Amino acid sequence: MTKKITIKDIAERAGVSVATVSRALSGKPGVSDQLRKEIQIKAEELGYLKNSAAISLKTSKSKTIGVIVSDIRNPFFLDFLTGVDNVLFSRGYKFLLSNSDENVEKEKVYLNWMVEHGVEGILASPVSEKDGKSSVNLYRKFYKLGIPIVLYDRTFPKETQFSSVTIDNKDSIIQALIYLKNKGHENIGIFLSKSGIYTIEERLKGFIEGCKLLNLPFKEEWIGRDLYPEEMTYNKLKELLDKKNLPTAIIATNNKITKLLVSASRKLNINIPKDLSIMGYDDLPENEIISPPITCIKQPVFEIGRIASTMLLGKINDNFSEPTKVILKAEIIERKSIQDLNKKVSHFIKT
């Protein structure tokens, strides 16, 4: 077990003071190029690794940001983190990743841990439980402490002080509704995952608004609320089927519900799109090869990661502190899970 090398060791070895070594290694001015090079070589030879605890204790800088995800099993974060990683790596920043697991207590533990670890900023998608419980107080506290925070995907609607990158959730559902109406659908349902979650609540609002706007019939039974755990999606669909109360189309509100809806339909012998059209949420690679290929609402997930982390670095380094709210648009990716009822009708007329 080799001993840990410090700048003191290097200083002795090179016959200079620790101050000089520090300056040489940290790239600060005040050392001759000649000497700097020598010191760098010695450091390399000795296998020196800087002690960031010491540096961050001294400078209060860590070149590190904290990223909190709400559920690490959600493939959403694969693209999101790729976006984040891309911008951070190129700027020399690293990140701590934590999984709040949709649990406010866990979120608090991790948030504190990150700040204790001296992160220079935080990227978070805050949890909100059914009863309205959230960590908003902790976010407020950190805001007051001057820790840059950018919220992504989810936000606290009433807290104007936080910057955020979200999509226009309401609009995404309204777009879906318009698309469906154009395809001749009038009886449309929506399946929601865990209630309380910001994005899900917004999507529900979009559904209600959209139905009014487009003069679509609105039935409470066609809304699948709080579909958690997994079997609830199957149960709800079965119930609609049993009561012969199936809408012609159902909108899923996340990628999990999309998959559950497809597999439930399969089990119940409901043909997609003949018996039921499905509008998926999130464009995952498998949407292409599911049967039928899934028409879906696509969020610019990679972009969310890219923009949120760029904004955060802006706050950190350029002291850009006014709260900015970026709202991106989702788009519809057309595949084969939605039937065109207009064509079906004209076909009947012809025969």
Partner DNA sequence: GTGAAAGCGCTAACAA
Partner DNA sequence: TTGTTAGCGCTTTCAC
Q: Which residues bind DNA (CB under 7 A)?
A: 4, 6-8, 15-20, 22-23, 25-26, 28-32, 35, 48, 50-51, 54-55, 57-59
Query: CB 318 → DNA: shortest distance, Å?
Result: 19
Our finding on whether 47 is near its own copies (CB under 8 A) is: yes
Among residues 62 and 339, whose Cβ is nearest to its own copies? 62
Among residues 204 and 306, whose Cβ is nearest to its own copies? 306
Nearest-angstrom CA–CA distance, 99 and 294? 29
Kindly report whether the peptide bond that precedes residue 292 is cis, defined as omega within 30 degrees of 0: yes
Our finding on whether 102 is near its own copies (CB under 8 A) is: no
- Which of 289, 279, 274, 285 lies closest to 257 in space, CA to CA? 279
- Which of 320, 247, 249, 258 lies closest to 283 in space, CA to CA? 258
Indicate the burial class of 49 (C-beta count within 10 angstroms; 0-12, 13-18, 19 or more): exposed
Our finding on whether 99 is near its own copies (CB under 8 A) is: yes
CA distances from 164 to 124, 136, 299 (A): 9, 14, 15
Among residues 76 and 207, whose Cβ is nearest to its own copies? 76
Q: Record the tokens describing residue 330, joined without a space.
A: 């989702």
Q: Which of residues 186-215 bind its own copies (CB under 8 A)?
A: none
User: What is the CB neighbour count within 10 angstroms for residue 72?
Assistant: 13
Our finding on whether 281 is near its own copies (CB under 8 A) is: no
**Residue 187 contact among its own copies, DNA, none, beta carbon within 5 to 8 Å by kind:** none
How many residues touch its own copies under the rule CB under 8 A: the total is 55
Beta carbons of 213 and 174 less than 8 angstroms apart: yes
Among residues 175 and 258, whose Cβ is nearest to its own copies? 258
Among residues 30 and 157, whose Cβ is nearest to DNA? 30
Among residues 147 and 211, whose Cβ is nearest to its own copies? 147
**Residue 22 contact among DNA, its own copies, none, beta carbon within 5 to 8 Å by kind:** DNA
How does strand 296-298 pair with strand 331-333?
A: antiparallel
Our finding on whether 161 is near its own copies (CB under 8 A) is: no
Our finding on whether 113 is near its own copies (CB under 8 A) is: yes
> For 193, phi and psi rounded to 5 degrees?
-85, -165
Nearest-angstrom CA–CA distance, 171 and 77? 22
Kindly report whether the peptide bond that precedes residue 273 is cis, defined as omega within 30 degrees of 0: yes
Our finding on whether 314 is near its own copies (CB under 8 A) is: no
Nearest-angstrom CA–CA distance, 299 and 76? 9
Using the contact rule CB under 8 A, the part of the chain among 24-32, 116-124, 177-185, 308-316 near its own copies is 116-124
Q: Record the tokens describing residue 323, joined without a space.
A: 């709260």
Among residues 145 and 349, whose Cβ is nearest to DNA? 145
Characterize 148-181 residue by residue with b for buried, 16 or more Cβ atoms within 10 angstroms of its Cβ, and e for exposed: bbbbbbbbbeeeeebbbbbbebbbbbbbbbebbb
Q: Record the tokens describing residue 29, joined without a space.
A: 């001015």
Nearest-angstrom CA–CA distance, 65 and 126? 16
**Residue 62 contact among its own copies, DNA, none, beta carbon within 5 to 8 Å by kind:** its own copies
Element (H, E) at 252: strand 249-252
Among residues 131 and 322, whose Cβ is nearest to its own copies? 322
Query: Interface mask (CB under 8 A) for its own copies, residues 231-270, using x and -?
Result: ----------------------------x--xx--x----
Point out which residues bind its own copies (CB under 8 A). Answer: 1-2, 4, 47, 49-54, 56-57, 62, 64, 72-75, 78-79, 81-82, 85, 89, 94-99, 101, 106, 110, 112-113, 115-118, 141, 144-146, 259, 262-263, 266, 284-286, 288-292
